[in-house]
Amino acid sequence: MPSIFKNFSYLSRVLHVISWLGNNFLNLTEFTSVVARFVFGYDSQHAMEDGSTFAAESASLLQLVPGLSESSQDEFKQFHDFTLECGHPMATIHQLNNS
């Protein structure tokens, strides 16, 4: 089975799934195989066989980058607070893009 760490398109798809669903899919074995099939584009039998490896790699990714488990709302708040500290609040950036 290919690794999500060796192929950028696979890694990108996993990151999208994590941003959409969080890490909840790792707790549901049957759904993990669906996600694996989406990421790798395999038929259902192949994804079922390799579901545990895919789940382990995905869990490793979450350990390597703990911020992936944060909600997008929390991430945006952190980014917004950072822009305030830098003296360029998010609202200013938004206004510049719309002018």
At 46-85, the pLDDT tens digits run 555 566 788 888 888 888 887 777 666 777 777 778 888 8
- Considering only residues 28 and 39, tell me which one the structure prediction assigns the higher pLDDT: 39
3 state DSSP class of 71: coil
Q: What is the spatial distance between Cα 25 and Cα 23, in angstroms, rounded to a whole number?
A: 6
pLDDT value for 14: 86
Show me where the domains of the chain are located: 1-64, 69-99
Distance, C-alpha 87 to centroid of its chain: 30
The long-range contacts involving 3-8, CB below 8 angstroms and separated by at least 24 positions, are 3/57, 4/39, 4/54, 4/57, 4/58, 4/61, 5/57, 5/61
The answer to whether the CB of 59 falls within 8 A of the CB of 65 is: no
